[in-house]
Structure formats: C-alpha cells, structure tokens
Amino acid sequence: MSRRITSLLAIAAVCVAVAPAPASAQAPKKEPIDCSQVKCIALTFDDGPGKYAGTLLDTLKKYDAKATFFLEGQYVKSRPSYVKRMAAEGHELGNHSYSHPDFTKSEAGTIKSEIQKTQDAVKKAAGVEPKLLRPPYGLADLQVSDIAAEFGMPMILWTAGSQDWSSKNVKAIQKQTLAVAKPNGIILMHDWVKQTVDGMPSLIKTLKNKGYHLVTVSDVIKSQNLEPGDIFPVPEGWEK
C-alpha cells in the first residue's frame, strides 16, 4: 500500500471516529476484526472435543476470546454437546479426521471416509460443517491435497506449537506459547491436556495485555486467499 493511500485511510479512520453515532435503539453490531490492521492470534485445539472442553469454553467465554477446534469425529460423536456449544459461542470448527490415521499412509477411500464421517458428525451435533481441514499429525501429500480440494477445504497447519502434550506443565505451556506468539500466528494446543485448560485464563490475560485479539483461524488467514486443497503455512519441501 502506498504512503499516500495509507494516509488517506488514516484520515478516513479519523473521520469515522469523530462522526456522531447514529441514533438507534439497537445495540451496536460488533465489527469484524481486521487482522491486517490489528494484532491477531489464533489458538487452535486438536483431537477434541476433549474431556476439558467445557471448562475451556467457560474460560473463552469469560474473556471474550475465540478459538478454533480441529475436531476428531469419534469424539464429536461421543461429546456432541460441546460441539454444539462451540458453534453457538462463535468458535470455528475444523475437521481433523474421524480416528486420526496418518493420511499420507492411507488409501484415498479411507481418507475420504474419515473426512466425510467427521463432516457428518459435526453437522449432526452443531448444524454446521467444517470448512477447514487439519490432517492428523499435520501430514499431507498431493493425494491428501486433491481430496481436500474435493471437499472444498484448505488444509491448515500451525505456525508454532505449545508443546502442551509433551510438557503437560502449566508454566511450561504458557512460556512456550508466549515465546512463539506472533501476529497472525496459529498456535497448536489440545483441549485434552488438563494443564493447557488450567493455564488458559492467565495465558489469555497475558496475550491480551500484549495487544493480541484472540480470533479464529479464518480471521487470521483471510488475507491469504486460500483455495481448496491449498496448505497453510506451506511446510518445508512442499511442492505444488
């Protein structure tokens, strides 16, 4: 963006800011967050809904934070009420297979059925269908990419991990997450790790103090204009 356009936009923003609020009895509609303008981060929780999803949802609600859940179909089936709540409370739902096989070692038919069964389970539980795919272990190849494209979904990995599944320690999870946090980062976490959920109130407060808006993956990838079958972030060695 040129300097001139930037300054025009700045002027426009000031004008908007000083314009009187329109007289209306309705509550002001919340503007969508523009992650190209403000500091955003997307916390993502894999393999769930996990045992502690309810507590996590309470915390996210309390701090008005949004997250993305890459759900495993088998647990969607066993814990559908959490999935319904996730959708109702404005979180994003993604597909993380039905039973977590390595897609790069699976037959096409298996991959398709793993994805479809999870789409169906989420639809049944929450009335919505995931629009993003996170392949198990973050592993994909061209076959997986083609199948993701058939389902109309880009594949979303992560910019960094919290290492929560390996440390299982509240302080270590917070320290690691803050060390790798960056604008438009996508952080890998798990809602089946109790220490992740226990440490979430303080982690959210710290991230907010650092100026982050906690948003969904779709918010942070908006500017990437991903097509179905695309992968983001592009892993090292990935060729189109």
Positions marked active-site: 46, 190
Query: Closest approach of Cβ 104 to Zn ion, in Å?
Result: 14
Query: Closest approach of Cβ 99 to Zn ion, in Å?
Result: 11
Containing 198, the helix (H) or strand (E) segment is: helix 194-198
119, two tokens: 């789409």
**164 in contact with Zn ion (CB under 5 A):** no
In this structure, are strands 155-156 and 231-232 parallel, antiparallel, or unpaired?
Answer: parallel
Query: Closest approach of Cβ 8 to Zn ion, in Å?
Result: 46
Q: What are the backbone dihedrals phi and psi of residue 160, each rounded to the nearest 5 degrees, phi first?
A: -165, 160
Note if the bond before 235 is cis, omega within 30 degrees.
no
**Would you call 104 exposed, middle or buried from its count of C-beta atoms within 10 A (0-12, 13-18, 19+)?**
middle
Closer residue to Zn ion (CB): 44 or 174: 44
Do residues 63 and 238 lie in contact, with contact meaning Cβ atoms separated by under 8 Å? no
Closer residue to Zn ion (CB): 69 or 151: 69
- Which residues are bridge partners to 40 per DSSP? 213
For tokens 């997307």, the residue is: 42
Query: Closest approach of Cβ 137 to Zn ion, in Å?
Result: 6
**From 47, 191, 219, 230, residue interacting with Zn ion (rule: CB under 5 A):** 47
167, two tokens: 């440390």
**From 40, 42, 45, 46, residue interacting with Zn ion (rule: CB under 5 A):** 46
Closer residue to Zn ion (CB): 46 or 114: 46
Specify the stretch interacting with Zn ion by CB under 5 A; choose among 41-49, 148-156, 196-204, 220-228.
Answer: 41-49
Closer residue to Zn ion (CB): 46 or 164: 46
> Which residues sit at the interface with Zn ion, rule CB under 5 A?
46-47
